[in-house]
Amino acid sequence: MYGYIYRTTNKINGKIYIGQCHGDFDPKYLGSGNLIQLAIRKYGKDSFSVDLLFEATDQDSMDSKEIETIKNHRECHGRDMLYNIANGGLGHSGPFTEEHLKNIGIANRNPEKLAIMSSILKGRTYSPETIKRMSLAKKGKKATEETKAKMREALANRPPPSEETKRKLADTWRKRKQAFELAKKDNPSITIHEFRTTNRRGEKNI
């Protein structure tokens, strides 16, 4: 067998991923797409099942069958029920089409993806060396005029903060000010920049 089309199903929420793979059917292979990999990290491999949908004799037939299957599943179940970002076919070459860029944008705004990324990153701390490398990487980078215009537009269209948000922000700044004043008592020479840098290095952020 040249390859096959498979369907990976999340047994918890019913979402699916359509993919292609070369060689004989492997029920342990769940897929390599961005969203399906994030979902596997969140739910665990045991939360997914894999079904063999079609066998293929060459790459062209496998590509066309994958595209057809993704299209049919989107029409039947809705785009949000699929982990697929692209429309199918083997990889991507050449410039992205408007539809492909739209699919990527939709996937990046997917609430489940954002929630999974948040849970993965939550509590992560960085070593001083990593912080230094990140800082150096950002130095010298200048935003283009187009980027600046988009940032200004986003700020102009941003809704005003709610009263609860204002209260939380005020409470956060009050606690930070108190923490800095306590740090000044222990070390009168400490600057606000040094205090913030210390907090970013993994120490308890008040």
What mean pLDDT is predicted for residues 12-39? Answer: 92
* Integer Rg of the chain from CA: 24
* pTM for the full predicted model: 0.49
Residue that is last in its domain, among 116, 145, 180 = 116
> Cα 53–56–62 angle (5° rounding)?
85
On the 0-12 / 13-18 / 19+ scale of CB atoms within 10 A, 66 is buried
User: Could you give the 3-state DSSP secondary structure of residue 178?
Assistant: helix
User: What is the DSSP-derived secondary structure letter of residue 18?
Assistant: E
- The verdict on 93 and 177 lying in the same domain is no
Question: What tokens does 205 get?
Answer: 């952020």
On the 0-12 / 13-18 / 19+ scale of CB atoms within 10 A, 183 is middle
- Which residue shows structure tokens 């390859």? 3
Q: Is residue 56 part of a domain?
A: yes
Looking at every residue in the chain, the average pLDDT score rounds to 79
Quote the pLDDT of residue 21: 92
- The verdict on 45 and 137 lying in the same domain is no
- The verdict on 20 and 111 lying in the same domain is yes
Quote the pLDDT of residue 126: 62
Quote the pLDDT of residue 43: 92
Contact 75, 21 (CB under 8 A): no
| Tens digits of residue pLDDT in 139-186 | 666 778 888 888 888 888 878 888 888 888 888 888 878 877 877 777
Least-confidence region, from 18-27, 83-92, 104-113:
104-113
| Tens digits of residue pLDDT in 41-87 | 989 999 999 999 999 999 889 999 999 999 999 999 998 899 998 88
Q: How far is CA 107 from CA 40, 44, 112, 182, 204, in A?
A: 16, 21, 9, 45, 34
- The verdict on 11 and 110 lying in the same domain is yes
Residue 124 has pLDDT above 80, yes or no: no
Residue that is last in its domain, among 82, 116, 150 = 116
86 vs 106 pLDDT, higher one = 86
Domain encompassing residue 35: 3-116
Residue 95 has pLDDT above 80, yes or no: no
CB atoms within 10 A of CB 157: 7
Q: Is residue 206 part of a domain?
A: no
99 Cβ neighbours under 8 A, 6+ residues apart: 87
On the 0-12 / 13-18 / 19+ scale of CB atoms within 10 A, 70 is buried
> Cα 25–26–27 angle (5° rounding)?
115
Confidence of residue 111 (pLDDT cuts 50, 70, 90): low
User: What is the DSSP-derived secondary structure letter of residue 47?
Assistant: G
Q: Is residue 205 part of a domain?
A: no
Quote the pLDDT of residue 116: 60
Number of independent structural domains in the chain: 2
